[in-house]
Structure 1
């Protein structure tokens, strides 16, 4: 088993910097940098327009969105450029692989640069590459729509880069005159990108007394937000101070001030005649523009071509940190309550006061709610900055209630009257008919039919023997000539009564109900013979009335 140990090539360990041009504006910037002779970087151009890629001087090109645009461009639609970059995601990652730092340059306001540049920046950040964006804004004469698209694209790109530099094209009028050509004006804008990239590469590659490594550059530019770059050259008397002032006052950058910057990179380059006093004067002049706590990194290199001339390049990062730091104390004070205040705040009074305020105060508008929140945050911040001194004891009778805005007085006349719904009519359900309280009675004898009256009258007679049977026996006895003694007259009278009674009953039945009203026997007997349930007893069975045969009848 053999182990081969080799010394790594020093050239392979140097930082790799890539300049990535996106869209037509980015391709033109890359072409200008290549013509200027910038060394030590790799150039990549990506575009949706096949004709523009054919004119590029870069050796590595990417045709974005072959299936989306078919090489015809994005047509000033950022969503098309974004879709094209998403389609070529793998190819973009391949060209970014192995880079330590990438500069993404494009012209905002179009279709490809506005939509595809944030996608390229996101791919670089996912690989851990230090990402710097250098973009331009359109002229005013290009219209409001293009300016609005550029602003939206800058906001989107700002979320995916470590450092962002914005160059408004309108600022070219500050350095141009009536004889400045259109191409020369854009070359001035590209010079800002060229100076920034050259400043960093020179500090890491070229020979100098004070050299910088890539870690120093990354410490200044990692996650710093907006930045500004400037380069100044001067010769003659007091050249160091003039070069430093020219680098500070870059007229092409967006109105960004170095004051409040969190990171500052200063590169001073000169010929063999560069003195220590000039380096100190240039660095001191730049340091006067930033805060004392700013992270300043200084590098000084030599260039034989700059004999008699001094060049000062400045990169200030985190220039928008002043506003962020101003908001952080207010946010921390608003979200934090002093210990003494939280200890004395009672729960029940606060809850009651909040309920009363919710009932008495109408729903506030959005602006009023924001004002109330701001006032509450300021009050808590003041309490936090000036806490009440503690004397070692607490007064239980003192309570600190939170700030509640005073409720406006509301008159009773202003309150709308409560409208009550009318009751829904229900279906009428009649009650049960009332029953009379009188007692039930049985019908009287005269109210009964004729047959019933007769039966009732017969039952009232105290005869122990059936009358019909007794009458038949008397008739048979009289026909055969039997003498019944003293009881015969009575029997005949009784028989005569019975015959008359039978004849009257037959005539009443034959006459019908019209004549029944004439017979009105007394009803007292019928009422006196009711059973325990108030009903009439069943009539006693009567023997069938038999006709006397002819041979038994009395003749003569």
Structure 2
């Protein structure tokens, strides 16, 4: 089976996101974990491990290791995710370095970065110029908008969009959706019963209320609806969910893409995963 995706987790937060996705058994993906903590690196089950520099004297050697491993891993994949929290200069420098290597290999790349309330604008602008898309998550946000949860859901949502039809995977579409620098929210809800779509919509709206940006500023939406083969998503349910979301936002986003997938484990339940993207400043 072909590996379409490479996910590179850098630092403690990026590594935590990577471990969750890897342990869930995501297929068609390659994983690279980059940590400066040798104990944590050795404990990881992820096969490709890179030890980051722990001081300035080790930077050149660490960069060489990064370049070699990334070249081998990324070469035949279509889309690369870089996941990191820019919580110190070393992680910021490494994240930028990795993006430069991927750009040099002419691979499509989306960076998902957790940043402080007052972010390092220079690093973000540099990453924006190197990557096809850049999603920014607040490091200090409360409630459901924790960095690991949001970053994990962002990757799952984008991967689901690509997997909607293996025969017509359009990775350039993914790059377009994520183009530019913005903030995002990713939430998920599922429910069963006759009113399952209404229950899912109510849960999604409750979760979105916790996010610290105005829904009216949402510019792009990726919506993944999942049902089981014996109880798939109905047209009425799709209408309920899409109309409910657009009513909540107050306007029709510039891009609204819906993907349908099947999951035998859902039985009679309906699941919805939604990624909202809004430009920085909203």
TM over 0.5: yes
Larger relative contact order (CA 8 Å, sep ≥ 6): 2
Q: TM-score, normalising length from structure 2?
A: 0.79
Q: TM-score, normalising length from structure 1?
A: 0.43
Match of 1:239 in 2: 196
Give, in whole Å, the separation in 1 of the partners of 2:54 and 2:73.
17
The counterpart of 1:30, out of the listed 10, 15, 18, is 18
Question: Is the aligned partner of 1:166 residue 2:154?
Answer: no
Match of 1:123 in 2: 101
Match of 2:34 in 1: 46
Shift of 1:65: 4.4
Cα distance per residue 1:71-93 (max 9 Å; x no partner): xxxxxxxxx6xx67644453233
Shift of 1:277: 0.8
Give, in whole Å, the separation in 1 of the partners of 2:183 and 2:79.
16
- Helix, strand or coil for the counterpart of 2:130? coil
- Helix, strand or coil for the counterpart of 1:234? strand
- Helix, strand or coil for the counterpart of 1:259? helix
Identify which range, 115-124 or 292-301, moves more after superposition.
292-301
1:212–1:299 contact (8 Å) kept in structure 2: no
Q: Structure 1 residues 316, 293: closer, same or farther in 2, change over 3 A?
A: closer
**Bigger Rg over Cα:** 1
2:221–2:253 contact (8 Å) kept in structure 1: no
Q: Structure 1 residues 171, 22: closer, same or farther in 2, change over 3 A?
A: same
Give, in whole Å, the separation in 2 of the partners of 1:307 and 1:86.
48
Give, in whole Å, the separation in 2 of the partners of 1:241 and 1:216.
30
Shift of 1:59: 0.8
1:196–1:315 contact (8 Å) kept in structure 2: yes
Give, in whole Å, the separation in 2 of the partners of 1:275 and 1:281.
10
1:109–1:148 contact (8 Å) kept in structure 2: no
Counterparts of residues 36-115 of structure 1 (less than 5 Å): 36-65=24-53, 68-70=56-58, 86-88=63-65, 90-91=67-68, 92-115=70-93
Cα distance per residue 1:177-219 (max 9 Å; x no partner): xxxxxxxx9xx642323322222333433679xx864343333
2:15–2:33 contact (8 Å) kept in structure 1: yes
- Helix, strand or coil for the counterpart of 1:57? coil
Structure 1 residue ranges without an equivalent (≥5): 1-10, 71-79, 139-146, 176-184, 324-556
Give, in whole Å, the separation in 2 of the partners of 1:276 and 1:165.
31
Structure 2 residue ranges without an equivalent (≥5): none
Match of 2:241 in 1: 282
Give, in whole Å, the separation in 1 of the partners of 2:15 and 2:253.
39
1:134–1:167 contact (8 Å) kept in structure 2: yes
Question: Is the aligned partner of 1:217 residue 2:217?
Answer: no
Cα distance per residue 1:257-294 (max 9 Å; x no partner): 45344432211112232322112211222334274461
1:163–1:227 contact (8 Å) kept in structure 2: no
Q: Structure 1 residues 207, 219: closer, same or farther in 2, change over 3 A?
A: closer
- Helix, strand or coil for the counterpart of 2:77? coil
Match of 1:198 in 2: 156
Give, in whole Å, the separation in 2 of the partners of 1:252 and 1:50.
36
Counterparts of residues 291-330 of structure 1 (less than 5 Å): 291-292=251-252, 294-317=254-277, 319-320=278-279
2:8–2:31 contact (8 Å) kept in structure 1: yes
1:260–1:290 contact (8 Å) kept in structure 2: no
Shift of 1:246: 4.2
Give, in whole Å, the separation in 1 of the partners of 2:201 and 2:62.
40
Give, in whole Å, the separation in 1 of the partners of 2:155 and 2:141.
21
Structure with bigger strand share is: 2
Q: Structure 1 residues 308, 48: closer, same or farther in 2, change over 3 A?
A: same
Name the count of aligned residue pairs: 275
Match of 2:222 in 1: 265
Shift of 1:237: 5.3
